[in-house]
Amino acid sequence: MPTTRPDEIRTAIPTQDGAGVKIRRVHDFTGRLDPFLLLDELKARAREDYIGGFPPHPHRGFETLTYLIHGGLTHQDSMGNRGEVHAGEAQWMSAGRGVIHSEMPLLDSDGLHGFQVWINLPASRKMDPPRYRDIRATEMATAHTDGATLKAIAGHWHAGTERVEGPLAHLGDGAAMADARMEPGARLSLALEPGTRLIAYVYTGSLGEGLDTARMAVWSEQTRIELISGEGAGLLLLRGRPLREPIRHHGPFVMNTDAEIRQAIMDFEAGRLATPPASVA
């Protein structure tokens, strides 16, 4: 049985962000990845390609989930939070009505490999207080099935006959993230609820069906997905139910109307973006 044919395949585009950090990016603010907005793969060995990091910058209206395979990052924000994550760990931030933060590579990092995903918030929660949490590798649950290992970072996953729950129970509006590693010839069967979108980003190896490294597969109308690896593969998996709400995007702000975007810009310029105390989830 081959890998279930995806509805769409996208290729990550090399670019850079922050202070010159080299990344591969897939983004869509038209709703075709809804509830997800953007996936950045941060992958650099040369120090000059990542050490500038992401100096202080604002966000409003969505959440970020950062997951590291190699290296480390330090988070600091306008609410006084500070934390570090290392290989195998994750960092979640719900920007809500506004936060200013930075993400800087640890100075002793020998290269950097990881991901940051933007998850949209429903209109009813875009102006919630901001929140933040570091997630340790020891908190993450793992499922083993047919030569594949699935590590649940957020939400629940049905892999083969196993159900695993990630330590981050509330991502966006019921979204989920997992890291899957597949041996050569491995098979990973994922059960989905009706109306759920599944995204698989291949960060190493391949799955067939044109799914090679740095490509993203999107399934929008399936209730069971079969993933088959020939040579072995590493996958970042995302699952979520589309919000089906208007999306307005301008730089680090994602809202529902143009007026809300203009207000976010004015609030940032006036220093009002992150005045209430943040909370740690």
Q: Is the dihedral of CA 64, 264, 173, 82 positive or negative?
A: positive
Q: What is the mean pLDDT of residues 261-274?
A: 92
Other Cβ atoms closer than 10 A to 138: 8
pLDDT tens digits for range 103-146: 999 866 678 999 999 999 999 999 999 999 999 999 999 999 99
Alpha helices in the chain (DSSP H): 258-269
pLDDT digits (tens, 9 = 90+) for 40-98: 999 988 888 888 889 999 999 999 999 999 999 999 999 888 999 999 999 999 999 99
In which residue are the tokens 């020939």 written?
230
Q: Supply φ then ψ for residue 261, to 5 degrees.
A: -65, -45
Whether residue 12 contacts residue 204, with contact meaning beta carbons closer than 8 Å, is answered with: no
Please indicate whether residue 12 or residue 230 has the higher confidence score (pLDDT).
Answer: 12
pLDDT tens for residues 196-213? 999 999 999 999 878 999
**pLDDT tens-digit series, residues 158-170:** 999 999 999 999 9
Set out the domains of the chain in order of their start, with CATH numbers.
8-240 (2.60.120.10)
pTM (two decimals): 0.95
DSSP track, 226-270:
EEE-SS-EEEEEEEE-------EEETTEEESSHHHHHHHHHHHHT
Taking alpha carbons only, the member of 78, 125, 85, 119 closest to residue 102 is 78
